[in-house]
Amino acid sequence: MTKGNSTKITDELYQYVLAHNPPLDEVQRELVATTYEVFPASAGMQSAQEQGPLLAFLVRLTGARHVVEIGTFTGFSSLSMAQALPADGRLIACDVSEEWTAYAREAWAKAGVADRIELRIAPALQTLRSMPAEPHIDMAYVDADKESQISYWEELVPRLRPGGLIVTDNTLYHGTVLDESATGAAAGVRAYNEHVAADARMESVMLGISDGLTLSRKR
């Protein structure tokens, strides 16, 4: 199968993309810079800068009022989504690190959205299973440990309202999804991608944004 038209994203072209997206505000820019300064070895876990405006756009597009985030890190993605929520909207942020999320809490407060976010420090599966079983989630963002993604999916889908959206990051996983002998996180992503594509409850599209982003809508 031949590949359609594509454009190699150079550093200069990436800056062009950012310049033609909604700009990050001061709090977002400061959080991105702080994350790379304080956690240089882990900063790659932060969602790409162009994903902040995209996540906010999707919140507004779906009219989401109840959002769940699996994997918060220092809070860039949750900040972006919370800023797009209505004043009475709520985001449940799931993470296991008090150290990382301390920076998230600070950024949420600076941006004036801390009252929209409930941070739960616990294994995400535990948090998901404590939620009501009926459909009530409008949108979920999954960006956490890859080996557990199918389990997250299976907890989220029944709780997702019809028309609700699951956004999954890193679905190309640095290209390792092509390696059939992959183990660990790469194998987890491969298995997750197959699971998502085969789930008749949802319709999904995989996009070549950053490290791969899959959008899944509940039928």
Average pLDDT score over residue span 70-96: 98
Cα torsion 160, 123, 102, 141: sign: negative
Does residue 127 form part of some domain? yes
Give the domain extent around 205.
Answer: 11-218
pTM for the model stands at: 0.96
Mean predicted confidence (pLDDT) in 127-141 = 98
Question: What's the pLDDT tens digit per position in 155-182?
Answer: 999 999 999 999 999 999 999 999 999 9
pLDDT recorded at residue 2: 64
pLDDT for the residue 29: 97
Burial 191-206 (b: 16+ CB within 10 A, else e): bbbeebeebeebebeb
Residue at 128 is within a domain: yes
Contacts of 5 by beta carbon, 8 Å cutoff, 6+ apart: none
Is 2 among the domain residues?
no
Q: What CATH number does residue 189 fall under?
A: 3.40.50.150
Q: Give the pLDDT score at 11.
A: 94
How much of the chain, in percent, has pLDDT values that exceed 70?
98
Please say if the pLDDT value at position 126 is more than 90.
Answer: yes
Q: Does the pLDDT at position 138 exceed 90?
A: yes
**pLDDT tens-digit map of 22-72:** 999 999 999 999 999 999 999 999 999 999 999 999 999 999 999 999 999
Q: Is the pLDDT of residue 74 over 90?
A: yes
Within a domain: residue 4?
A: no
CB atoms near residue 6 (< 10 Å): 7
Residue 68 in any domain: the answer is: yes
pLDDT above 90 as % of the chain: 96
Could you give phi then psi for residue 28, rounded to 5 degrees? -60, -45
**Does any domain span residue 1?**
no
What's the total number of domains in the chain? 1
Whether residue 120 is predicted with pLDDT greater than 80 in this model: the reply is yes
Residue at 5 is within a domain: no
63 in any annotated domain: yes
